[in-house]
Structure 1
C-alpha cells in the first residue's frame, strides 16, 4: 500500500468519524430543545449505533450469540472449512464495497455476520479439539496428572485426572472418586484402574453438561486401585500447589478456634468451601437467597466490590479506589487458591473498578463484553454450561443497567437522604438480584421472595466478616491464643448472619419452588 493510498484511507475514516460526531451533536441539541419526532428519534438511534464503541458492542454480541447457538448444533463446522473461507471472503468483499459506498449500515451488518460465524467456528473447533471417545463400561488402566484442586468431603475425594490418549492424539479428563485417605494434591501423578462410566443425565439435572465446562467426559466412580507415581514439579503447578496448601491450612486454623456452625460458615464466606456446612443451614441459605455469600461464583465478589467502590469513592477518589480495589481483588484470588470461578469473578470485579476509573457507562459495557469474549474464547463451554460465569455476567449487567434506574427511583421517592452505607448496598443488591433471578429460577427451580430483605440485612456485613475471618485465620495460623482472641470479635458477626438466615427462612412464603 502506497503512502498516498494510506493517507486517503486515513482521511476517509476521519471524515466518517466527523460525520457521526456531527449527527450526535445535532441529536443532542434536538433533545435539549425538546424538538423532534420520529425522524429525530431515528437520527439519535443512528448516531448512537454508529459510534465506534457501539460498533464493538454489536460485534462482540454477535460473536457471543454465534458461540451460544453453536452449542446447540451437533455438527463439526471444521469439516466444511473451504465453504467457510468462501463465506468469509464474500462478507469481507461486501464490507469493503459498502464502506467505499459509505453505506455504513450494510458494512456493519457484514462485519456482524463475520463475527457471528467466527463465534460458531470457535465453538466448533474447541469442541472438536476437546471431545474424546472414551471406552465406556470398560476397564482402563491410566496414568495421569491431577489438574484441579481435589474436592474433599467426609467420605471421599474427587479428582480430575488428565491423561494422554495415544490412539486419538488428545488429552482426556476423567473424574475419579477416590477414598478419603490418602490425600492427594494438585499436580500429583497417579495411576488409576477401574471402569469408565458416562456422566448420567437425570430428569432435573444434566451431569454430563455440568462436567463439560471442566472438559470432563468420563467417570471412574469405584476405582479398583490408585497408585501414587510422583509429583509434577512445573513452576505453575508449584505456585498453585502452594496456594492450595495455604488455603487448606487456613481452613484448618479456622476450625481450631471456631465452633460449628460458625467455622463452616466462615470457610464458606471467605474460601467458598461448603462441604462442612450443615444441611439445615444450607437449606435456610437457599430459601433466603443468600447462597451466593458462600459460593465463589463471582456474584458475591462483584456485588461486594461495587459496594466498596460506591461507598468509598467520594472519600478516596477514583484512582485510589482503583489501586486499592485491584490489590484487594488480586489478594482475594490468591487467598482462595486462584480457582477458575474466582479468577472470573476477579476479572469482572476488576472491570467494575476500571469502569469507575474511566467514569463512562459505555466503557463499562464494552469492558464487560471484552472480558466475556476473552473468557469464552479460552473455554466456549462456560457460556452455556457454567452457571457461575452466567451469574457473574448477569450480576455485572444488573449493576451497570438496573442499579442506576433503581437509584433514580429512590431519589424521586425522597430516599436520597438515606446514608450511603445503607442506600448503596440496597441499590446494588436489588439491581443484581433483578438481573440474576430469572437464571436462578431456571437453573435451581426456586425463587426467594424474601431475598431483597435478607440481602439488605446481611450483605452490608459481608465485607466486615471477610476481613475479620481473614484476621482470625491468619492469627490462628501464627498462634492459637491470638486466633482465639480474634474469634471473639468475629463470632458475634457470624452469629448475627446465622440468626437472620434462620429467622427469615421460617417466614411463610419466603420462597417458591417450581
Structure 2
C-alpha cells in the first residue's frame, strides 16, 4: 500500500469520525468496540497479508480518533469560576483578543476574561480565560488589545428562529455555533471602561495598518462604494447597509465581500486571468500567490484569513503545476490539521465548509466543465475562465448553501460573469487610492475616480438583477441526506463518468 492511499484512509476515517460524532452522541463503549474491530483487522492482516484488512485497520483507527477528538472538544464549557455568575449581573475585567466585528449600529467584541468581582467577598477572583462575546454600542470604538472592565448581565447564548427567507420555521443553533470557537457566554450592552492596552504587538500593528487603510478608503470614496471596496480588498463590510448586503446575497455575489476561502479562491482566479492577459504565465502565478500572502498579512492573519489563504494557494499551485492529485493530498492534509485543531469546524463553520468545497470544485469540476464553455470565443478567454471558476465553485457549494441558508440565486452566473471580470481592476485602483490616500488625497484622486466608476458599475449590476422577479429561489427544507446524495453524484461525475462526454473538452 502506497503512502497516498494510507493518507486517504487516515483523512477519510478521521473526517468521518468527526462528522458522525457531530450528529450523534457516541459513548466510550462504542469507541472501544470500533477499536476492537480495528485490532481484529490488524490481526487478520498479520495472518492473511490481505490489503483489505490493513485498510480497515487504518480507517477504523482514524475513525475512533476523530470521534474522541470531537468528544474532547465537546467537553469544553464554562469554567467553574464563572459558572455561578451565569444569568446574573457581573463585573468582569478582560482583554479584547480579536478584531472588533463592527456592524452598522453595533460592535461585537471578543473578551478574554481575566478577573470577576465577587460581591459577597468584595474582591476580584481570577478566571482561566473564558471567552465572552460582548455586544456593545457602535461608539465609542474599541480595538484589539484593549483591557476593559465591563458591568452587565452575563448569560449563556440561546437558539433563535432562522431569519432566512423561506426558513422561518427552522431554529438556528446559536450556542453550538459559538461553542465551536470556545465561546459559552455573552453579555448585551454592558457599561464599558477602558483600563489599558495589551495583547500581541505584532497583531496590534497589523490591525492598526488595516484600520488606517480602511479610514483612507472612506476618505477618498463615498458610501456605499467605500464599504464595497473594503469588502473586496480585505473582507471588511464596515457600515455596509443591510439592504445592500441582502441584494448581494440575492444575486449570488456575497462571496466577494465576506472573508472566506470562497471569496479568496474566486477572486484570486479572476486576478490571475487578468494578469495573464499582459504578463508571462509564470509571472502571473507568482504575483497571484504573492497577493494572497500579502492579503493574509494585511487582513490580520486571523484563523479565518489563514484558512482562506491556504485554500487559495493550493488552487494556484494546482494551476501552476497541473499536479491535481498531489494538490488534492495537500488540500486534505491542510483540512486534516485544521480539524485536528478544531473539529467543530466541519459542521458549524460555514466559512470552512465553503472554503474547502469551493476549492475542491475549482480543482476537480472546472476541468470537467471546460468543454461547456468552448462556444465563447478565444478573444474572450478571461470571461470564459471567470465563468468556469464561478460555475464550478457555485455547483460545489450549492448543496451547503441550500441546506444551511435555504436560498438559491438564479442570477448568480450572469451576475458573477458581469462583475468578476471587473473585480481585479476595482481592487487594483481601489487599493492604490487607499494607500496613496494615507499620504495625500490629491495623489489618490485619479485612482479613486477610476475605482469609483468600476464600483458604480458593479453596484448597478447588483441593483438591476436583485430587482428582477425570481432572481432568488427560496427552499424551505433541504435535508442533510439530500446534501449527501448530491455530493455522491458529483463524486461519480468527477471520478467515474466517461471522459470526453462534453463536446470539445474533458
TM bucket (normalised to shorter chain) is 0.7 to 0.9
State whether residues 77 and 184 of structure 2, in contact with CA within 8 Å, keep that contact through their aligned partners in structure 1.
no
Provide Cα deviations, 1:470-503, integer angstroms capped at 9, x if missing partner. Answer: 1010011111111222211111110110111111
Residue 153 of structure 1 deviates from its aligned partner by 3.3
Residue 173 in structure 1 maps to residue 131 in structure 2: yes
Residue 461 of structure 1 deviates from its aligned partner by 1.4
The counterpart of 1:475, out of the listed 436, 439, 455, is: 436
Say what the alpha-carbon RMSD is for the aligned residues.
Answer: 2.7
Moved more, 446-455 or 306-315: 306-315
> Equivalent residue for 1:229?
195
Residue 197 in structure 1 maps to residue 155 in structure 2: yes
Moved more, 485-494 or 92-101: 92-101
Structure-2 change in CA distance of 1:311 and 1:275 (3 Å):
closer
Indicate the SS of the match to 2:468. coil
Alignment of 1:382-393 (within 5 A): 382-393=345-356
Aligned residues: 455
Provide Cα deviations, 1:289-324, integer angstroms capped at 9, x if missing partner. Answer: 111110111202112223445676798777655543
Structure-2 change in CA distance of 1:489 and 1:418 (3 Å):
closer
Residue 162 in structure 1 maps to residue 112 in structure 2: yes
State whether residues 311 and 424 of structure 1, in contact with CA within 8 Å, keep that contact through their aligned partners in structure 2.
no
Alignment of 1:430-441 (within 5 A): 430-441=391-402
Structure-2 change in CA distance of 1:404 and 1:442 (3 Å):
same
CA distance in 2, matches of 1:146, 1:108: 47
Residue 359 of structure 1 deviates from its aligned partner by 2.2
Structure 1 gap ranges (5+): 1-49
Structure 2 gap ranges (5+): 117-124, 163-171, 476-506
CA distance in 1, matches of 2:19, 2:280: 39
The counterpart of 2:87, out of the listed 137, 159, 162, is: 137
> Equivalent residue for 2:142?
184
CA distance in 2, matches of 1:308, 1:428: 12
Residue 439 of structure 1 deviates from its aligned partner by 1.3
> Equivalent residue for 1:24?
none
The counterpart of 1:254, out of the listed 210, 217, 230, is: 217
> Equivalent residue for 1:507?
468
> Equivalent residue for 1:401?
364
Residue 168 of structure 1 deviates from its aligned partner by 11
Alignment of 1:61-140 (within 5 A): 61-74=12-25, 77=28, 88=35, 91-92=38-39, 94-95=41-42, 97-99=44-46, 101-129=48-76, 132=79, 134=83, 135-140=85-90
TM-score computed with the length of structure 1 as normaliser = 0.81
Structure-2 change in CA distance of 1:475 and 1:314 (3 Å):
closer
Indicate the SS of the match to 2:130. strand
CA distance in 2, matches of 1:54, 1:447: 36
Residue 200 of structure 1 deviates from its aligned partner by 1.8
CA distance in 1, matches of 2:54, 2:273: 40
Q: Which has the larger radius of gyration?
A: 1
Moved more, 339-348 or 415-424: 415-424
Structure-2 change in CA distance of 1:312 and 1:180 (3 Å):
closer
Residue 96 of structure 1 deviates from its aligned partner by 5.7
CA distance in 1, matches of 2:432, 2:342: 35
Residue 151 in structure 1 maps to residue 114 in structure 2: no
Indicate the SS of the match to 1:395. helix
Residue 332 of structure 1 deviates from its aligned partner by 0.5
Indicate the SS of the match to 1:219. strand
> Equivalent residue for 1:59?
10
Indicate the SS of the match to 1:228. strand
TM-score computed with the length of structure 2 as normaliser = 0.83
Higher helix share: 1
Residue 199 of structure 1 deviates from its aligned partner by 1.2
Structure-2 change in CA distance of 1:63 and 1:138 (3 Å):
same
Residue 368 of structure 1 deviates from its aligned partner by 1.5
CA distance in 2, matches of 1:313, 1:51: 37
Residue 451 in structure 1 maps to residue 412 in structure 2: yes
State whether residues 333 and 343 of structure 1, in contact with CA within 8 Å, keep that contact through their aligned partners in structure 2.
yes
